[in-house]
Every structure is written in structure tokens, then in C-alpha cells.
Amino acid sequence: MTAADRPPFRLDGKVAAITGAGSGIGAAIARRFAQQGAAVAVLELDVAAGGAVAAELAAAGADAVCLPCDVTQDAQVRAAFAAVQQRFGRLDLLVNNAGIGHVGTAETTAEADFDRLFAVNVRGVFLCTRAALPLLVQSRGAICNIASIASLIGVADRFAYSMTKGAVLTMTKSVAIDYLQAGVRCNCVCPARVHTPFVDGYLQRNYPGREEAVFRQLSQWQPMGRMGTPQEVADLVLYLCSDEAAFVTGQAVPLDGGKLVS
């Protein structure tokens, strides 16, 4: 079968490692990649959640495994990618999805919160990318990082979070240019607000009894009047990691419900 005859966006024969794939956006990406024929390594701090996703994929016929991984710890990251190589013999795709959020201005952000966000959202992307690159160079593979609309525009009360996602965007461009000749592509997706279990938990903790009203307010921040879905993020990540995007690298692709044009 020639490339022209192959169904689009297929990942047959490819191995993908996805961080934070035990829930939300990461789990949606894992499911979409498995549906498109990829073998999937779920790299997850919450082993129970990651194991459940991997078991679900395996039950549907995919080759999937959960590997414990705290992305802030270099030894765990190196061990996880060594396990990917041992288990699958290769790595073609890396999705740096693991991340955490925080609400606060420069004055109201505690130093401990700043350090915690940097450790997960910035150092985690660095450590996973560094560990994966030798394998990705061998396969001429691709990286997709999950950044944020906050890396492109100012978002109120998101000082530390915006800092980390801005770093993800610039790391994306640096890796893209440094590994262009090695055949490794690197892009990032910049979503606006996405409806995940994290959002529901945030509303329950901070706005008890007002969840519906605040959810509506957060949704209307996007000009389309709703939040994105994890599946929509997964579909864009699939495109950027597929052969159909072979001419795309170093890009920050918004998924923002019209926010940038409003």
C-alpha cells in the first residue's frame, strides 16, 4: 500500500509514550492513538488510573502498558523510557501532556506553588524530552507538547501557570530547530479551557453551590460559548503526530474556540 492509498491519520506500527495519560486529555489522546493503530505506553504518576486506561486499551485490542513515572524525577523518567525501549523496541511519538494548574497573580502565588508548577510543567517536559530524543532520532519521530492559550495571550490570575506554558512553547521551538536535520518534528497544542475532571473538581472545591453558574462563566470566556473537549485536543494531537503533518514543525497550534480572533 502506498502512502496515497493509506487511510489518513493512521499510526500502525508506531509506538507512542504519553505522559499523564491516566485521565482527562491524556487519556483521550491514548484512546485516539490506540484507535489509530499505535502501541501506547501510558506514563503516569497515578498508577491505578494509568493501569485502568492501559487495561481498557488492551481490552479493545491495542498493545498498551502503564509505566509508573513522576515526570519531575530524572531517575524515574529515565527508567520509564528504558522500559518503553525494552517493551516495544522503539519509540516514534512522545506526547508531553502531564501538567498541573494554579490560580493566582504574582503577589498571591506562593514560592512553593511556583516551584511545584515549574517542576511538573517545565522540568517534566524537559526530562521526558531529553530521555526520549535518542529513541526518536532513531525512528525520525515526533513530539507534541500540550501548552496553553496562556502561552500566547495574557490570562488573568494565571501568573505561574502562564509562565510554565510559555516555557513549553519556547522549548517546542528550540527542539524543533535543534533536531530538524535529525528528522524529529516538535509541535505544541495551545488549548483554551477544556472540560476535564480537573475543572469539575476545581469548581466543587472553590465554588460549592455555584458550580453551574461559574462553569457557564468559564465557558463563555471562549467566544464560541463553550469549553473544548478532551477529544478535540486528542484529534489535533493526532494530526500533529501523524504522517499527514510531516511538513509541520516548531508550531504552536491554538485550539481556542475563537479566543485569538475575538
Which residues touch 59 (CB under 8 Å, ≥6 apart)? Answer: none
The two most distant CA atoms of the chain are separated, in Å, by 59
CA 167 from centroid of its chain's CA atoms: 14
Known active-site residue 161: yes
Closest CA to 105 of 60, 154, 70: 154
Residue type, 178: D
* Bridge pairing between strands 93-96 and 64-68: unpaired
Query: Coil, strand or helix: which one is 137?
Result: helix
Selected catalytic residue, list 161, 179, 202, 239: 161
Radius of gyration of the chain (CA): 18
Residues with catalytic function? 161
